[in-house]
Amino acid sequence: MRKKLTRQFYTGPTLKVAKELLGKYIVRKVGKKKLGGMVIETEAYIGPKDKASHAYGGKITPRNKAEYFIGGHIYIYLVYGMYWQLNISTSKEGKPECVLIRALDSKLGNLASGPGKLCRYLKLDKSFYGEDLTKSKRIWLEDRGVRIRHSQIIATKRVGIDYAGPYWANKKWRFLFENDKI
DNA sequence: GTACAGATTGAG
DNA sequence: TCAATCTGTACT
């Protein structure tokens, strides 16, 4: 079963979408080749109340405006001048909520074991900014029938956002998928 | 206009 | 433990 994820999937509550993205497949078409893998790690960012979000306080910049798009768009940006972070906007138009894709299936080895490496592996860059995952011909997500048991989802603290203060840094909005079949 | 720090990574 | 390297934001 291969079912492309629809707008309806992305516009659900961010924390729900973040959890449901686990086990879904990301597909990236490069020329005649297909890259991609199963999503095994995500993080939720819910602006404007989330201090760790770029949209904290409701601010909009040229960089983060894709976070305000209706669910299903790519919000990609550069950190530390070298690494791209792949996010998917969620919720409705005007709501700055998104899910950060942190890692893909471990079958890929360490090629996509972190957000920066994931984007390097999938050859993602600024040209994907604002891409619509429900319409794009070069990148989308699909459901291949992988069913995740609740016990396989591990919720932990988010990574690298200590600057947001203990309240937000300790929110368990990072979701890991532990697959015993790999 | 200038200064500074960040949702990271790989090397030392 | 630290440098690489660029963008947004908060100053002057």
Note the pLDDT tens digit of each residue in A161-175. 999 999 999 999 999
Q: Using 50, 70 and 90 to split pLDDT, how confident is the model at A109? A: confident
* Contact between the CB of A98 and strand B at under 7 Å: yes
Q: Using 50, 70 and 90 to split pLDDT, how confident is the model at A1? A: confident
A49-92 residue pLDDT tens:
999 999 999 999 999 999 999 999 999 999 999 999 999 999 99
Distance (Å) from CA A78 to C1' C12? 27
* Contact between the CB of A115 and strand B at under 7 Å: yes
A71-83 residue pLDDT tens:
999 999 999 999 9
Residue matched to tokens 């768009």: A73
Burial of A120 (0-12, 13-18, 19+ CB in 10 A): middle
Minimum CA–C1' distance nucleotide for A75: B7
> For A25, which DSSP code?
E
Strand A33-46 with A174-177, pairing? antiparallel
| All residues at 6 or more sequence positions from A22 whose CB lies less than 8 Å from its CB, including other chains | A39, A40, A41, A42, A148, A153, A175, A176, A177
Distance (Å) from CA A124 to C1' B3? 30
DSSP string, A144-182: -S----GGGEEEE--SS-GGG-HHHHT---EEEE--TT-
> For A97, which DSSP code?
E
Distance (Å) from CA A22 to C1' C10? 38
Distance (Å) from CA A80 to C1' C6? 7
Tokens of A167: 């309240």
* Contact between the CB of A66 and strand B at under 7 Å: no
* Contact between the CB of A78 and strand C at under 7 Å: yes
